[in-house]
Structure 1
Amino acid sequence: MNTALDFGIFQMPEVRPERNWTLYFDQIVQEARLAEDLGFDEYWVGEHHTKAHETVPDPLMMLSRIAEATERIRLGPATVNLTYEINDPFNVAEKLAFLDQLSNGRANYGFGAGALPRDMAMFNVDEERQKDIMWEAIDVIETYTDATELTDFDGEFFQYEDRIVQLPPLQEEPPTAVAGFTSTGSYSGAIEGGHRPLTLPFSPLSAPDNPDALGLKRMGETIDEAATSLGRDPQAARREWSIARDVYVTDSKEQALEEIREGAEEYYDYMLGLGDGGLLQFVKTDPEQTRDDLTVEWLVENLPMIVGSPDECIKQISALHQEVGGFGTLIVNSHDWMLPEQKWRDSLELFAQEVMPAFQSRKGPREIEKEQVPGYEPVELAADEDPFAIDSSKVIGTGD
């Protein structure tokens, strides 16, 4: 196994409205602390304001609380939605710099244009100029992050006079990421602007028959094209690409499907129903598909999701890496699986203990030494193997 990857966790957060949200905030902190203990590299928290599923309106406040409970893991918003009128970019620059100070230089900056339709309506987003506003807001943030004296900014959407961020970020150049979902422009713009491209967990692997869906393969091609146009090594640019996926590790794929089915169906009923079902257009691979066609089995095979035993998950991550042409960070999507909390923690521990070392060779002995152990066999992906395929004869439940 020679594929080197970093690993993170993305906490949307997404939780059912009947649960105790105050307790859930405590559980987010506990999860971040566990992620650090398990060796994850970074922890991301989303920003959402409506729809009674997504609980954190200000990820920077949540991350500052996490910063107090952790020491090593990097922390970032995924994302600060820069088109919302509440997120004035100068104020965002100040708060991100402050988060970097509070976390002792562990902040990742994550930017997006917003996607939740009701959020965008509430905060008066101009959808026709959404990306233009986002890129100019990033320019504001970078201008005032770097400024060492009183500075003006005279843009199309934002104007400031004689301003400075009094307390700079602790890092000289905090790493930045830009999330993309429906447009290749987010990926080319990320590479051109020196940002990490960040992909959401429900982008399909490939959707050549659906012009509305932007698949992972096309995202990767866009990264290659942008890097080449700048004279950069495309593989080095891909190393900056982070892909989020649903992940669940247990004894077998069949056991995983049985345990996550109810939670996965509830989650995707919510997600794909957003905007009167508009999100469905960007996930399905065939324009004629309906929500009923996107079963849990379809999602596992086509997004794809990473589920099953540790060996099955290793093969799936390897296949995903090969299929898209390479990326640098796999981010585990954390949400309400409708499971006892311990089962999710067990999944994360199995992932860290038995899956991550396959992609982080220095977390175990040299391969030549492993081969001395009787019965040891490396996990290899056969050339003709489809690790995402599901044997329907072994599926335990149907969800009917």
Structure 2
Amino acid sequence: MSTSLPARLRFGAFIAPFHPPDENPTLALERDIELVQWLDRLGYEEAWIGEHHSAGYELIASPELFIATVAERTRHIRLGTGVSSLSYHHPLMLADRINQLDHITRGRVMFGVGPGALPSDAYMMGIEVAKQRDMMDDALDALVPLLRGETVNRKTDWFTLQDARLQMTPYSRPSVEIAVASQVSPTGARAAGRHGAAILSLGATSAGGFNALSSNWAIGEQTAADHGKAMDRNAWRLVGPMHIAETREQARANVQFGLEKWLFYFREVAALPISVEAGVDPVDAMNATGLAVIGTPDDAIAQIERLVGQSGGFGAYLHLAHNWASWDNTKKSYELFARYVAPRFQQLNVNREASMNWARDNHAAFLGQQVQAVGARVARHIAEKGADNISPEILQAMGMGDKPEAAQ
């Protein structure tokens, strides 16, 4: 498989988030806000914010409110809904909120969409899980033209639009960027292809998600071609978890803080698949299968290269924010990644390395020129003033030994 990568691979975080119910939820939300500010300072390009309404761990109910808050506290990072559950919202109301965010963030907002991840959310609203993907398709067919500023008339069995349009012309032209969540099934890839939208590959490092990367991309491309659209690999995001430290031993020690609570949530609460069985060492299992990286910056580099090879190329890697480690160690992990991993995939040091190698290749010649230039000045001083104030070390370095008359 041929691969294609942009000259500057982007990095960011996908923040569901995951907070065990043994801590203050208000402080947990504040820490999520601080995480996005930290990513912005470190130069990460994107942060995607989830929407959930049950199960206790994933606390953010409105990604739009969260994005509006962090937009005021950040400067550069782009902010996406990760994802808005389309079956929960009337399309006009959601389009209006996203369009307002597009304006107040001056184009920094991105619109990630999906059917809704937690069956418990759907249950509370009386939505049949089996219908959610069809509802997503219905909503997306309306949202795409609405977010381009077009007028939409559409009637489905769960919403009606009559001469519906946004009051404000979109800030981003022709529209905010739209990304469709995709895991194993072709649902997300087909929806993205139908509208020429981006793919947001959640669970890209799980066994099923990893194996489906290339096939789902092919499905998206074919669907796009069938509808006169085109797919852009640079807009494709892959999501996976990692925690890194200076050594593998330190990384393993760090995640003892919260890894088991995270695994408990996936195994017993969230009704989402997890491939780490109880009773085995989770760090060994996750590293061995590639589900996660718990190790060093070199291990993180290897994981991204593995994803490049499997996918054929993509535009952004998003850390699945997980709270496996303490807050200080979590921030350190993101910092190590920004310092030592991201530059490898962003060509940040190509010119520096070329300059260093050029200077090294010419080191002897440049050193000789430097010695010659300094020596000439020393010799001139001796000729004019004598050598009384010239140290023997300088004379020795200039090849004059203890015979300064050689300079005359």
Q: Same fold (TM over 0.5)?
A: yes
Say which structure is richer in helix. Answer: 2
What is the TM-score when the length of structure 2 is the normalising length?
0.79
Provide the residue aligned with 1:324 in structure 2. Answer: 311
The corresponding residue for 2:70 is 66
Match of 1:357? Answer: 343
3-state secondary structure, aligned to 1:153: strand
In the alignment, residue 334 of structure 1 is paired with which amino acid? A
CA distance, structure 2, for counterparts of residue 156 and residue 346 of structure 1: 49
Q: Deviations over 1:12-59 (max 9, x none)?
A: 111121212212222222211111111111111101111221111111
Contact 1:6 1:329 in 2 (8 A): yes
Compute the TM-score of the two structures, normalised by the length of structure 1: 0.81
Find the residue that maps to 2:87 and give its secondary structure: coil
In the TM superposition, 1:120-159 aligns within 5 A as 120-148=122-150, 151-159=152-160
Amino acid in structure 2 at the alignment position of 1:320: L
> Equivalent residue of 2:181, what SS?
strand
Pairwise CA RMSD of aligned residues?
2.6
Q: Is 1:216 aligned to 2:194, yes or no?
A: no
Residue of structure 1 equivalent to 2:371: none
Report the CA distance between 1:248 and its aligned residue: 1.3
Which moved further from structure 2: 46-55 or 237-246?
Answer: 237-246
Write the distance in 1 (CA, Å) between the matches of 2:332 and 2:200.
26
- Structure 1 residue 174 displacement after superposition: 1.0
The one-letter code of the counterpart of 1:348 is Y
**Structure 2 letter corresponding to 1:55:** L
Aligned 8 A contact 1:93 1:145 in 2:
yes
Q: 1:192 to 1:144 in 2, by over 3 A?
A: closer
**Corresponding residue to 2:238 among 234, 243, 246:** 243
Aligned equivalent of 1:78, options 63, 67, 82: 82
**Structure 1 vs Structure 2: percent identity of aligned residues?**
27
2:24 matches 1:20: yes
Q: Which moved more, 1:193-202 or 1:354-363?
A: 193-202
> 5 Å matches for 1:233-272?
237-272=232-267
Task: Give the corresponding residue for 2:40.
Answer: 36
Whether contact under 8 Å (1:180, 1:197) holds in the other structure is: yes
Aligned-pair CA distance for 1:164? 2.1
The answer to whether the Cα contact below 8 Å between 1:180 and 1:198 also exists between their aligned partners in 2 is: yes
Task: Determine whether 1:299 maps to 2:292.
Answer: no
- Contact 2:102–2:170 (CA<8 Å) still a contact in 1? yes
Q: Bigger radius of gyration, 1 or 2?
A: 2
Q: Which residue in the other structure is 1:165 paired with? A: 166
Specify which of 257, 262, 279 is matched with residue 272 of structure 2: 279
Q: Higher mean Cα deviation, 235-244 or 308-317? A: 235-244
Q: Which moved more, 1:133-142 or 1:362-371?
A: 362-371
Give the Å deviation of 1:260: 0.9
Q: Structure 2: give runs of 5+ residues left out of the alignment.
A: 361-408
Aligned length: 353
Change (3 A) 1:202 1:294: farther
Q: 1:182 to 1:124 in 2, by over 3 A?
A: farther
Unaligned runs of 5+ in 1: 207-213, 375-400
In the superposition, relative to structure 1, how do residues 293 and 215 fare at CA in structure 2: closer, same or farther (>3 Å)?
A: farther
Pair 1:51 & 2:55 matched: yes
